[in-house]
Amino acid sequence: MTTYQYGGFWRRTGALIIDKIILYIILTIFGIVALIAMRLSLPPGQVQMIIDGFKDMSGVYVGVYYSATFFVDMVYFTYFHGASGQTPGKMIFGLRVIQTSGRDMTFGIAFLRWVGYLVSAVFIYLGYLWVAFDGRKQGWHDKIAATVVVQTRDEPPRQKAATAPAEPEADEKYLDKDTDVL
């Protein structure tokens, strides 16, 4: 039976931050392209009219923005987890999502896990914080989809504190205390 070292809370948090930064960049690029396309398609006199119209339609704009964010987030996490079990953030931190049975992820399980993200976030993100206290480091989204996050590489070796003096090398000469001879 294969044993896994589970991905801890801080590693997973770091991976999520990386993924959210990537998503923010993607959405910013889409937003800039949309604004440029809209501006290029309008006659010069209508640009100010559109800006004034945005002030009246700010609720619609916010709704469209959050809908697009929601959709891109779903596609991003479902695709990467379903295809390889790793998002770019998880790749950087040496983490991978697998099923609790040890099998690789599928797109269906990845989508179910993403739906679990919504459940994990509803109660002041308690489902994400659960990772810090769970024995298998599972958040609520992991429990819903029957997945675990495992490390794909070990932690870098840490320096051991020297508690005993180092052994002398064989070719060193020491002062003989009894004879005072080198």
Break the chain into its structural domains and give their ranges.
10-151
Q: Is the dihedral of CA 92, 93, 97, 98 positive or negative?
A: positive
* pLDDT above 60: residue 166: no
Q: Are 105 and 82 in contact (CB under 8 A)?
A: yes
pLDDT tops 90 at residue 47:
no
| Residue predicted with more confidence, 155 or 73 | 73
What's the CA gap between 5 and 164, in Å, rounded? 31
What's the confidence (pLDDT) of residue 173?
45
pLDDT of residue 72: 95
The rounded Cα 26 to chain-centroid distance in angstroms is 16
Q: Residue 56's pLDDT band (boundaries 50, 70, 90)?
A: low
Q: What is the 3-state secondary structure (H, E, C) of 15-49?
A: HHHHHHHHHHHHHHHHHHHHHHHHHHCCCCCHHHH
SS3 call for 163: coil
Q: What confidence score (pLDDT) does residue 1 get?
A: 55
Could you tell me which of 159, 32, 173, 151 has the C-alpha nearest to residue 95? 151
What does the pLDDT read at residue 61?
72
| pLDDT tens-digit map of 86-99 | 999 999 999 999 99
User: What backbone phi and psi angles, to 5 degrees, belong to 180?
Assistant: 50, 40
How large is the average pLDDT for residues 44-62?
66
Cβ neighbour number for residue 123 with a 10 Å cutoff: 10
Q: What is the pLDDT of residue 160?
A: 44
Could you give phi then psi for residue 54, rounded to 5 degrees? -65, -35
Higher-pLDDT residue of 1 and 42 is 42
